[in-house]
């Protein structure tokens, strides 16, 4: 699917959800449910306010892994994206 098909509006607004530190990150606090709840709340708020699409990213996973993303990061990002997609009706992308 190309960009124009996904976003037929002239200038779509794509919001970014900066996830809390994920499992494997130095600042991860062990509370995975808090990450899901915050991400889902933000996704719903963005949809309510007219955003056309979302990107989720592991912004707080500093330091980033420049060569290889750990499997727990990929798994958690995928699971959170699936949760968001099942709860709202917006296209979603993932930035690692």
Per-residue pLDDT 10s for the chain (96 aa) are 788 888 888 899 999 999 999 999 999 999 999 999 999 999 999 999 999 999 999 999 988 877 889 999 999 999 999 999 999 999 999 999
- The C-alpha atoms of residue 77 and residue 71 are separated, in whole angstroms, by 10
In the chain, the N- to C-terminal Cα span, in Å, equals 21
Whether the link from the prior residue into 63 is cis, omega within 30° of 0, is yes
- The C-alpha atoms of residue 26 and residue 16 are separated, in whole angstroms, by 22
User: What pTM value is reported for the model?
Assistant: 0.90
């Amino acid at each position: 699917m190309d960009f124009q098909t996904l976003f037929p509006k002239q200038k779509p607004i794509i919001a970014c959800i900066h996830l809390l530190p994920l499992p494997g990150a130095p600042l991860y606090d062990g509370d995975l449910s808090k990450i899901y709840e915050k991400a889902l709340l933000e996704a719903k708020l963005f949809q309510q306010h007219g955003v056309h699409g979302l990107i989720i990213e592991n912004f707080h996973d500093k330091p980033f892994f420049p060569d290889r993303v750990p499997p727990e990061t990929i798994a958690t990002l995928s699971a959170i994206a699936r949760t968001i997609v099942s709860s709202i009706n917006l296209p979603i992308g993932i930035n690692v």
